Amino acid sequence: MTAPLFFADVEKLRSATVGGHVVLDGAEGRHAATVKRLTVGERIVLSDGAGLRCDAEITAVTANSVDARVLSTVAEPRPRPWLTVVQALAKGERDERAVETMTEVGVDAIVPWQASRSIVRWDSDRAARHVERWRTTAREAAKQSRRPWIPQISDVEKTADVVARLRASSGVLVVLHEDATSLLSELPTDADEIVLIVGPEGGVADDELAAFEAAGATARRIGPTVLRTSTAGTVAAAVLLANSGRWDSAAKSY
């Protein structure tokens, strides 16, 4: 069984040296001590959420914290290609489910998108609350999947914002569309960044598709079936990450 991962205080972790000690406290410390019931001698992984990973051994446990001796440290480089997914808002908890599973497969940044056909509407009061829920979901999913990188979750964007994002990117740009004639698996992945757009349940509107294509994106389909918005991004991310070699070249971390 792999060692559990916890996100430690950034300053404490970045100043830690091999042989030194790091105290894991706060919510993460309570989770390790009282929920996971970890004991002295067990191995854990500590991370700052931005690629730094420390393998450590627990030396002391209290009710709300654990003390761990650092065994080794690794600073993983920024992933290449960096995969950003523009995820349309979905009803119920489907968009949060998408955030969870995309984090697990390795997506690096997720942009909430208020598409014209999104049933859910985030007004200014709801937006901040929902974005925070996405960030919490991403953090917990990264922790569960033993990822030392927590995906970046941006503020909600409208279509015009997404178009501006595409125009500013020098990466590979793609929008999933069921009527596309080209397959996602054939998309070139040798780039510093890939930006993937996933539409809502009602699909990407014609004017939105035209705007994305004018900004440099190409329309691609995953395969012969039409997936829900909550699964399309995860499946597409798996295809892209596998084709890019990121899964093959990733060092075994745990």
Q: What pLDDT digit, counting tens, does each position of 136-160 carry?
A: 999 999 999 999 999 999 999 999 9
- 91 touches 75 (CB < 8 A): no
Residue 95 has pLDDT above 60, yes or no: yes
Please confirm whether the linkage preceding 224 is cis (ω < 30° from 0).
Answer: no
What is the reported pLDDT for 40?
Answer: 96
The model's pLDDT over 122-136, given as tens digits with 9 standing for 90+, comes to: 887 788 999 999 999
Are the C-beta atoms of residues 148 and 51 closer than 8 Å to each other? yes
- 67 Cβ partners below 8 Å, 6+ apart? 21, 22, 23, 24, 58, 59, 60, 61
**Nearest-10 crossing angle of helices 94-105, 124-144:** 40
pLDDT for the residue numbered 249 = 57
Spatial CA neighbour of 159 closest among 240, 226, 89, 68: 89
- In this prediction the pTM is 0.92
With residue 84 as reference, give the H or E element that holds it: strand 82-88
What's residue 1's pLDDT? 72
* Residues 3-14 pLDDT 10s: 999 999 888 889
d(CA 39, CA 60): 8
Q: What angle do CA 174, 175, 181 make, to 5 degrees?
A: 90
Mean pLDDT of the region 30-43: 94
Name the nearest CA neighbour of 189 among 152, 236, 142.
236
- For residue 219, the cross-strand partners are 175
Length of the chain: 254
Give how far the C-alpha of residue 221 lies from the chain's centroid of Cα atoms, to the nearest Å.
22
pLDDT score of 222: 95
Please report the pLDDT score of residue 122 as a whole number: 86
Residue extent(s) of CATH 2.40.240.20 domains in the chain:
5-75
For residue range 181-191, list pLDDT tens digits in order. 999 999 999 99
CATH 3.40.1280.10 in the chain, residue ranges:
82-249
The dotted CATH code for 82-249 is 3.40.1280.10
Q: Which of 94, 110, 224, 101 has the alpha carbon at shortest distance from 156?
A: 110
Q: Which CATH architecture has domain 5-75?
A: Beta Barrel (2.40)
% pLDDT > 90, the chain: 83
